[in-house]
């Protein structure tokens, strides 16, 4: 097992390096212009957001609509830290992420007793509360926007952040802790009676998810260099959730692909940009109707007429 | 030696006394049967013992300690594991992962260790894999280890649930109607499995069952529950000849 895992690790690492090298080469030689490299940066930030939300919604099974809230906490705190404390970029990022995690912890403890629709509504409310706070306190400069954030984020930084996020979440999910988290999604009572401290793991997964949302926020702040509260409204939360649902709840690869596609596609569909939210609604409904946890295996099974797992095992 | 003892255990839902003055004892390594007509409160007793419900009166002593203040998770860690009347597996997880969830506390590597892959992590994961496979082997499920749990046939799902419960290394195993929905061949197989489990793991087993052949065949002691109270208590022969029990099941002659 150890050998297999190390081989897999090296393979993924090499793959990430190759992708990074190819994109960097394309950027430097001008195949990808500065407009598209900007979109790639946003795509990587979205990958961080989608994979981290997947931990809370896909693996833990708690549907939350407050991910943009955690992102905004990370964005504002890291930006303020850079501007007023003059901290180095990495430190600002981490301060923002830790603050987002602390907020996640504070929100998580009372709300994770709730399930389904109730949790959705509470996290949605939290998202709006954060947005209104950012709009009204002096230090964030409200609706005029927080300006003067140093431009630090580049493709290398977001790519490394995305790889680290994916790696950490993949590791957690494969460990005993991840199995505990997934078992809560499957059946909370049974999980409790199998000896899993369910409250602890729910809060832990939620907090980790908020931490990475904070990182994404910090990256965003130092890339756009101006923060307006309106960016972090519930539309942003829905957008991230759509990525996760489209990629498949509890499917990391799906989240990555969906995040990239959902960032690049709107660029091609500029003419229809007014109808973007309409499209998201249709996508969500379609995903629900197909009802499968993963769209891809579902379609695969349909087209390839894949044999049942049990049949295969008994043969 | 007494493993589990309840004293005047009771729970009330509004005006309904679902379980009232429930007294019984289970010895170490005993096979104990709990029977009674539908709605007698058998599953409620299980829910009280595992902490899902909090009793409104009485006391539960397990292995010298009161269980009243413990959460379901703590009770499981302290040594009571159970299965459910309607199977509650982690359906989307593989068979082996279901058992691995039960083995959660057998290893203690931290989350940080799993991220940076310390030797402790590898050791822990290998030990869990080993233990899970050997448990599955007891139930003849090792060939299905990497199949999704929901794709198992019904009888094997029941077995997997028992395997998952055993993974928490309990001292007492509660089985809630393990033979429900099984055909006679599967039931006979299950009887064998239960006997093997008790010998191999040397644990006490408390089972709820409607299949009288199974109960009378393997249980050493039986308690009959009716309307939330214990109607009779004794060996299978004593229960079979008890006029109160016959009346509860078949009605009085007049």
Residue B79 has pLDDT above 70, yes or no: yes
| pLDDT at residue number A299 | 62
Chain B neighbors of A5, CB-CB under 8 A: 117, 122
Domain boundaries, chain B: 2-95+154-250
Question: Residue A194 and residue B105: Cβ atoms within 8 Å?
Answer: no
Question: Residue B124 and residue A176: Cβ atoms within 8 Å?
Answer: yes
Q: Tell which residue, A241, A206, A249, A207, has the closest CA to residue A58.
A: A249
Q: What is the largest CA-CA distance in chain A?
A: 69
Q: Which residues of A244-264 are buried (b: 16+ CB within 10 A; e: fewer)?
A: bbbbbbbbbebbbbbbbebbb
Residue B254 has pLDDT above 70, yes or no: no
Closest-approach residue (CA) in chain B for A208: B111
Q: Taking residues B110-126, report their average pLDDT.
A: 90
Chain A neighbors of B143, CB-CB under 8 A: 313-314
* Cβ B168 vs Cβ A194: under 8 Å: yes
Structure tokens at A245: 């649902």
CB under 8 Å, gap of 24 or more: what pairs does A77-82 form? A77/A214, A77/A218, A78/A214, A78/A217, A78/A218, A78/A221, A78/A222, A79/A146, A79/A149, A79/A218, A79/A221, A79/A222, A79/A227, A80/A139, A80/A140, A80/A146, A82/A149, A82/A150, A82/A152, A82/A222
The pLDDT-based confidence of B187 (bands split at 50, 70, 90) is: confident
Question: Residue B101 and residue A179: Cβ atoms within 8 Å?
Answer: yes
Q: Which of A95-104, A272-281, B99-108 has the lowest mean pLDDT?
A: A272-281
CB neighbourhood size of A31 (10 A): 11
Average pLDDT, chain B: 89
Candidates A10, A13, A188, A193: best to mutate against B (most CBs of B within 10 A) is A193
Candidates B111, B122, B161: best to mutate against A (most CBs of A within 10 A) is B111
β-pairing, B57-62 vs B65-66, is: antiparallel
Q: Taking residues B125-139, report their average pLDDT.
A: 93
ipTM score of complex: 0.89
CA distance A200 to chain B (A): 11
Domain B2-95+154-250 = CATH 3.40.50.300: yes
Q: What percent of chain A has pLDDT over 70?
A: 92
Residue B153 has pLDDT above 60, yes or no: yes
Residue A179 has pLDDT above 90, yes or no: yes
Nearest to A313 among B72, B147, B168 (CB): B147
Which has the higher per-residue pLDDT, A273 or A13? A13
Separation CA A180–CA B167 (nearest Å): 14
Question: Residue A194 and residue B101: Cβ atoms within 8 Å?
Answer: yes
**Phi then psi dihedrals of residue B82, to 5 deg:** -145, 165
Q: Taking residues B198-215, report their average pLDDT.
A: 89
Q: Which of A1-5, A56-60, A131-135, B171-175 has the lowest mean pLDDT?
A: A1-5
- Any idea which residue has 């505990």 for tokens? A180
Confidence (pTM): 0.88
| pLDDT at residue number A312 | 43
* Cβ B223 vs Cβ B31: under 8 Å: no
pLDDT tens profile A113-167: 777 788 889 999 999 999 999 999 888 888 888 988 999 889 999 999 999 999 9
Q: At what angle do helices A234-247 and A276-290 cross, to 10 degrees?
A: 40
Would you tell me which residues 269-308 of chain A have a C-beta closer than 8 angstroms to some C-beta of chain B?
293, 308
What is the enclosing helix (H) or strand (E) of B6? strand B2-13
Q: Which residues of B152-183 are buried (b: 16+ CB within 10 A; e: fewer)?
A: beebbbbbbbbbbbbbbbbbbbbbbbbbbebe
A–B interface: beta-carbon pairs under 8 A: 116
Chain A neighbors of B153, CB-CB under 8 A: 310
Would you tell me which residues 232-251 of chain A have a C-beta closer than 8 angstroms to some C-beta of chain B?
250
From the number of C-beta atoms within 10 Å of its C-beta (0-12, 13-18, 19+), residue B245 rates as buried
Would you tell me which residues 175-204 of chain A have a C-beta closer than 8 angstroms to some C-beta of chain B?
175-180, 182-183, 186-187, 189-198, 204
Nearest to B147 among A182, A193, A309 (CB): A309
Nearest to B101 among A167, A196, A309 (CB): A196
Sign of the Cα torsion B105, B106, B111, B114 reads negative
């Amino acid at each position: 097992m150890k050998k297999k895992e190390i081989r897999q690790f090296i393979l993924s690492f090499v793959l990430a390096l190759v992708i990074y090298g190819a994109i960097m080469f394309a950027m430097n030689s001008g195949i990808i212009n500065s407009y598209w490299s900007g979109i790639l940066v946003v795509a990587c930030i979205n990958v961080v957001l989608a994979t981290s939300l997947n931990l809370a919604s896909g693996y833990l099974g708690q549907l939350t609509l407050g991910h943009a809230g955690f992102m905004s906490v990370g964005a504002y705190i890291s930006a303020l830290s850079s501007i007023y404390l003059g901290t180095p970029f990495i430190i600002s990022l981490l301060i923002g992420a830790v603050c987002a995690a602390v907020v996640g912890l504070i929100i998580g403890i009372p709300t994770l007793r709730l399930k389904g629709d109730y949790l959705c509504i509470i996290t949605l409310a939290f998202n709006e509360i954060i947005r209104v706070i950012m709009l009204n306190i002096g230090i964030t400069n409200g609706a005029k926007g927080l300006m003067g954030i140093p431009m630090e984020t580049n493709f290398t930084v977001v790519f490394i952040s995305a790889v680290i996020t994916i790696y950490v979440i993949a590791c957690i999910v494969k460990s005993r802790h991840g199995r505990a988290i997934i078992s809560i999604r499957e059946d909370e009572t049974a999980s409790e009676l199998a000896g899993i401290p369910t409250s602890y793991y729910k809060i832990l997964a939620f907090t980790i998810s908020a931490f990475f949302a904070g990182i994404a926020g910090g990256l965003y702040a130092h890339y756009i260099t101006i923060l307006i509260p309106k960016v972090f409204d519930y539309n942003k939360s829905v957008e991230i959730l759509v990525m996760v649902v489209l990629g498949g709840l509890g499917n990391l690869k799906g989240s990555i692909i969906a995040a990239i596609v959902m960032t690049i596609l709107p660029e091609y569909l500029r003419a229809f940009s007014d109808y973007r939210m309409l499209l998201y609604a249709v996508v969500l409904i379609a995903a629900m109707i197909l009802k499968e946890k993963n769209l891809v295996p579902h379609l695969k099974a349909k087209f390839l007429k894949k044999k049942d797992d049990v049949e295969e095992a008994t043969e | 030696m007494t493993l589990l003892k309840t004293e005047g255990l009771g729970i009330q839902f509004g005006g309904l006394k679902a379980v009232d003055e429930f007294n019984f004892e289970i010895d170490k390594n005993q096979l104990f049967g709990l029977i009674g007509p539908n709605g007698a409160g058998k599953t409620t007793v299980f829910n009280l013992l595992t902490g899902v419900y909090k009793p409104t009166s009485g006391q539960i002593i397990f292995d010298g300690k009161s269980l009243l203040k413990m959460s379901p998770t703590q009770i499981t860690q302290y040594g009571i594991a159970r299965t459910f009347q309607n199977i509650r597996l982690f359906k989307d997880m593989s068979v082996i992962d279901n058992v691995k969830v039960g083995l959660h506390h057998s290893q203690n590597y931290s989350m940080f260790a799993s991220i940076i892959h310390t030797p402790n992590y590898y050791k822990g994961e290998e030990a869990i894999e080993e233990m899970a496979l050997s448990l599955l082997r007891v139930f003849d499920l090792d060939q299905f280890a990497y199949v999704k749990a929901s794709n198992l046939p019904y009888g094997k799902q029941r077995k997997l649930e028992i395997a998952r419960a055993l993974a928490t290394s309990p001292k007492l195993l509660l089985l809630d109607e393990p033979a429900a929905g099984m055909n006679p061949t599967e039931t006979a197989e299950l009887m064998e499995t239960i006997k093997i489990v008790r010998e191999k793991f040397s644990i006490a087993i408390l089972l709820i069952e409607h299949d009288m052949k199974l109960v009378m065949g393997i249980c050493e002691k039986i308690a009959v529950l009716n309307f939330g109270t214990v109607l009779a208590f004794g060996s299978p022969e004593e229960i079979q000849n008890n006029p109160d029990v016959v009346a509860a099941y078949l009605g009085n002659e007049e």
